[in-house]
Chains A and B, each alone.
Chain A
């Protein structure tokens, strides 16, 4: 058995001659939790759909759970759980009826028991007779996660599972992801949230369908070569228009009552800071956040060129 859950090379997908994903290589070991990041339209969803057999790659080779991506799509489907970006369970079925359907289609043994257990583990037991369509966003996500993990898949693909969900529900959801990971599931999750990215073992950053960078969170921050300075003091908010656009400052943004400026050129940044040194703000160099790094990466690679949702 291959040690890699996902092993693809040169994965590409074109829609009407527009490249949605081009030449992506991924080697993901089993048992880890990986984060898929990138701006809207960067090809995250398309890549995930190719991995679970919902889209045929235009080019590229590889295996998923040891099965060939092109030839064994059916086998991959049986051992993969895919949670779609948009809630895609049946709104006019109850929570339990949805799970029953999934259990039947995967031909699970002891269906009743299996559904009962899934409901209990995800805390859905008291809502099992509610219609899925009547659930709030957070509960819908729980139901979807329950449904895509019930057949004990080896690989879990989650496409922005926590978009539009409140912080408490997000935290609960991530507790579930780590629980599943501890049970041995390999999890690939796409997200826009930095705190979620920081919960992953490894980050893959895509932009315009290309893999820009990957690694652990500290690695990515170090590799970026980005430098950040932080200004604090009364009236710091008037500073941003002054700083933005100055040579060497690639990005300026407020974090609470502080202003962060960042860029790659230390001398230019320090010169910019020196210009306003007499205005009474306290400056210090800080470690760039993951968000700073991603925004810098995003600006380097240009805007949203999405052609396909």
Chain B
């Protein structure tokens, strides 16, 4: 009994000490409260595996009442948002490859005439199938939607067309990943996730380690501008990031047979920009955090939305508008589009330039914060 009392007293001593230390470390405390709230909000509201309002382009060579019925039927289903109409067939490829739209609906000239004659004209729907989950529900409903839309036009003498296989020959063309292989989408995405996680974490320690080990005072007493220190500190990890990239790509090729149809040079450029953006962010974290632990927490705090809101785990278009806005800020979101575009769609610079610019802008903002936060003195 006595011994139990002693034991409890000592447990109590450690417990009190931990409580005091926990209270001192305000950032840790904030992160511990913020992460559950963030997770609840993100998981609860933002994630939707049945994405609707997917941007759709229409390439129609005629606009008859029947065509209009089909298009408004698509709109009314809420799965398709007809955002652009164009007459140049080459534009369809660009829109799909750049990720501006998920679907292109093509209606050839003479569609209505063939329909009325009962010749079952083709209605061609090209889908961006790089993310099989994102497009599958919309495609699954497609024939029902089209048939229902036509039902109110096909009355009287045309009523017989509604029977059988339907009045329209619906041709769905899942582009880039016709078999709907999930790995094709996930593995290139993992490249971005791996780079984000490791690089932000590693450079996040860069300055906090100097502070914790007492070497910061020495570094500050020597010549060297914040910019010089930052570049010197992140450069080694550019090499690390590139090695990781090679490993992921080789594994993607050998284990999962993920296709690579785009330009290697463009991929290298994109990866380099993305690596620099992550390293700059990590460096910024290390100028904000007061300890390596705090820096780890900031990394985790950033990593969570990166995974959930970038379109890596859940379809980006399925999220509500506000969540998409947050996603647009994250470099991973843009990198996923670029890397999937290059590897699966053969996207070129023209298709990738917007997303690359977004990553560069992020890097600039974050580096500026780092330069402002980096103190040249011990004040």
Contact = CB atoms under 8 A, between A and B. Distances in A.
Contacts of B217: 54, 84, 86, 88
A56 B224 contact: no
A89 B222 CA distance: 12
22 contacts: A53-B221, A53-B377, A54-B217, A54-B221, A55-B379, A56-B379, A73-B377, A74-B223, A77-B221, A80-B221, A84-B217, A84-B221, A88-B215, A88-B218, A89-B215, A89-B218, A90-B213, A90-B215, A105-B222, A105-B223, A106-B222, A106-B223
B220 interface: yes
B222 A77 contact: yes
B213 A91 contact: yes
A212 B37 CA distance: 57
A55 B218 contact: no
Interface residues of B, number: 15
Nearest to A15: B379
Contacts of A78: 223
Interface in B52-101: none
Interface string A64-107: 00000000011001101010101111110000000000100110
Contact of A82 (B221, B223, B376): B221
Nearest to A58: B379
A228 B195 CA distance: 72
A49 interface: yes
Interface of A: 49, 52-56, 73-74, 77-78, 80, 82, 84, 86-91, 102, 105-106
Contacts of A53: 221, 377
A175 to B, nearest CB: 24
Nearest to A81: B221
A102 B224 CA distance: 11
B236 interface: no
Nearest to B224: A105
Given A49-B378, A88-B217, 20 more contacts: A52-B221, A54-B377, A55-B378, A55-B379, A56-B379, A73-B376, A73-B377, A77-B222, A77-B223, A78-B223, A80-B221, A84-B214, A84-B218, A86-B214, A87-B214, A88-B218, A90-B213, A90-B215, A91-B213, A102-B222
Contacts of B216: 88
Main secondary structure of the interface of A (DSSP, over half): loop
Nearest to B376: A73
A55 B221 CA distance: 10
Most chain A CB inside 10 Å of its own CB: which residue of B216, B218, B220, B379: B218
Given A90-B215, A91-B213, A56 B221 contact: no
Nearest to B221: A82
B155 to A, nearest CB: 83
Contact of A54 (B213, B220, B224): B220
A55 to B, nearest CB: 6
Nearest to A88: B218
A309 to B, nearest CB: 11
Contacts of A91: 213
A54 B378 CA distance: 6
B263 to A, nearest CB: 38
A275 B223 CA distance: 64
Nearest to B220: A54
Contacts of A84: 214, 217-218, 221
Interface in B220-251: 220-224
Contacts of B214: 84, 86-88
Contacts of B379: 55-56
Contacts of A56: 377, 379
A43 to B, nearest CB: 14
B285 to A, nearest CB: 21
Contacts of A88: 214-218
A106 to B, nearest CB: 7
Nearest to A107: B223
Contacts of B222: 77, 102, 105-106
